[in-house]
Structure 1
Amino acid sequence: MQTEINNALQILKNGGIILYPTDTVWGIGCDATNPEAVKKVYNLKNRVDSKALICLVADDRMLKQYVNTVPETALNIIEISEKPTTIIYDDAKNLAPNLIADDGSIAIRIPNDDFCYWISRKLNKPLVSTSANISGDPTPKSFKEISDEILKGVDYVVNLHHEKICNKPSSIIKISNSNVVKIIRE
């Protein structure tokens, strides 16, 4: 795994995009602080940049570097959640502007996956994580289902877990700074 982490890091640090396994589905990722890299992800997916993308961070300490306020409710949900849960926070900061939603919010998940943890920790930045499909196409459930267009459009394909059948996408919950909780996707 260390070789794959090093190879992916080199691409990410140079503004490239990677295809990688997450704790949910195969993802397309880049340095979430690099606007040009984020633009490449939108272009590859044929997705309008007004539709925000999810980010992965290594832990709650890193989370606090990219969100002005982390509500206590969010920390509790992260701690007790038994399945991958993405939380939408108000007031994103220190991220590529084209990654942040028009209302200033950002969707972030702390994945339960060694590769995702180490890549984010060693990059010392959040990682974009969006499903490995063209917008509007079904989300691939395995590496074999990823289209040639995606495979050829990334700068590096992580050589881990190619035989793994991926779970469904994460749950998504929006938690406002005033602790109002809204379920977006179960």
Structure 2
Amino acid sequence: MKKELSNSLKTLTQSKVLLYPTDTVWGIGCDATSEEAVAKVYEIKQRSESKSLIILVDGIEMLQQYIPSISQGILELLSSAVKPTTIIYNHPVGLAKNVVANDNTVAIRIPQNEFCKQLIAAFGKPIVSTSANISGNETPKSFKEINQAILDSVDYVVDLHREAISDKSSTILKVGEKGEIIVLRK
């Protein structure tokens, strides 16, 4: 894993794009603070920039750097989450403009995957995590199902967990303007 962390870190620091295993499905990722890198992800996925992307942080401390106002209820929910949980937050700061949705929200998850956590911690910044598929196509459940065009388009492919099969997606919650929690996907 050490070699994969090193190669992935090098890819991220050069504003390049990587294909990597997450706690849900294989993801296409990059530095979530680099507009140039985020634009490459949209291009690879053939996806409109009007559709936002999920980003990953390594923990609550990093989350608070980009989401300055988080309610105690959300913090408690995050510390007790068993299933991967993505939360859509209002008014993020410090992220690439093209990773933030038109309504000034961003979807963020703290991964439950050791590789992801170590990579993000070493990188020191959030990374994009969008499913490894062309926009509109089915999400691959395993590395073998990833479209060759995706494999050819990224700058680095992590050589870990390639035999794993995952069909789990994260729970998606949204924080309303008054702090209420809205369930978008269980």
TM-score band by shorter chain is: over 0.9
**TM-score (norm. length: structure 1):** 0.98
Corresponding position: 1:133 with 2:139: no
Taking the TM superposition and a 5 Å limit, the aligned residue runs for 1:72-87 are: 72-87=72-87
Q: In the alignment, what sits opposite 1:26?
A: 26
What SS does the corresponding residue of 2:5 show, helix, strand or coil? helix
Measure the CA separation in 2 of the matches of 1:135 and 1:73.
34
8 A Cα contact 1:71 1:177, kept in partner: no
What SS does the corresponding residue of 1:61 show, helix, strand or coil? helix
Q: In the alignment, what sits opposite 1:120?
A: 120
Measure the CA separation in 1 of the matches of 2:72 and 2:150.
38
Structure 1 residue 141: deviation in Å? 0.3
Q: Deviations over 1:55-94 (max 9, x none)?
A: 0000000000111211222111112221000001111110
User: Which stretches in structure 1 are left out of the alignment for 5+ residues?
Assistant: none
Corresponding position: 1:10 with 2:10: yes
The letter for the 2-side match of 1:103 is D
151-160 vs 176-185, greater mean Cα deviation: 176-185
User: Which stretches in structure 2 are left out of the alignment for 5+ residues?
Assistant: none
What SS does the corresponding residue of 1:122 show, helix, strand or coil? helix
**TM-score (norm. length: structure 2):** 0.98
Measure the CA separation in 1 of the matches of 2:160 and 2:99.
27
Q: In the alignment, what sits opposite 2:66?
A: 66
Measure the CA separation in 1 of the matches of 2:153 and 2:144.
16
Taking the TM superposition and a 5 Å limit, the aligned residue runs for 1:28-177 are: 28-176=28-176
Structure 1 residue 169: deviation in Å? 1.6
The letter for the 2-side match of 1:171 is T
Structure 1 residue 177: deviation in Å? 5.2
Aligned structure 1 segments of 4 or more residues deviating by more than 3 angstroms: none
Measure the CA separation in 2 of the matches of 1:92 and 1:28.
21
What SS does the corresponding residue of 1:55 show, helix, strand or coil? strand
Measure the CA separation in 2 of the matches of 1:115 and 1:73.
28
8 A Cα contact 1:70 1:177, kept in partner: no
Measure the CA separation in 2 of the matches of 1:77 and 1:49.
30
Measure the CA separation in 1 of the matches of 2:177 and 2:116.
27
8 A Cα contact 1:28 1:131, kept in partner: yes
Measure the CA separation in 2 of the matches of 1:90 and 1:101.
10
Structure 1 residue 178: deviation in Å? 2.6
Give me the CA root mean square deviation: 0.9
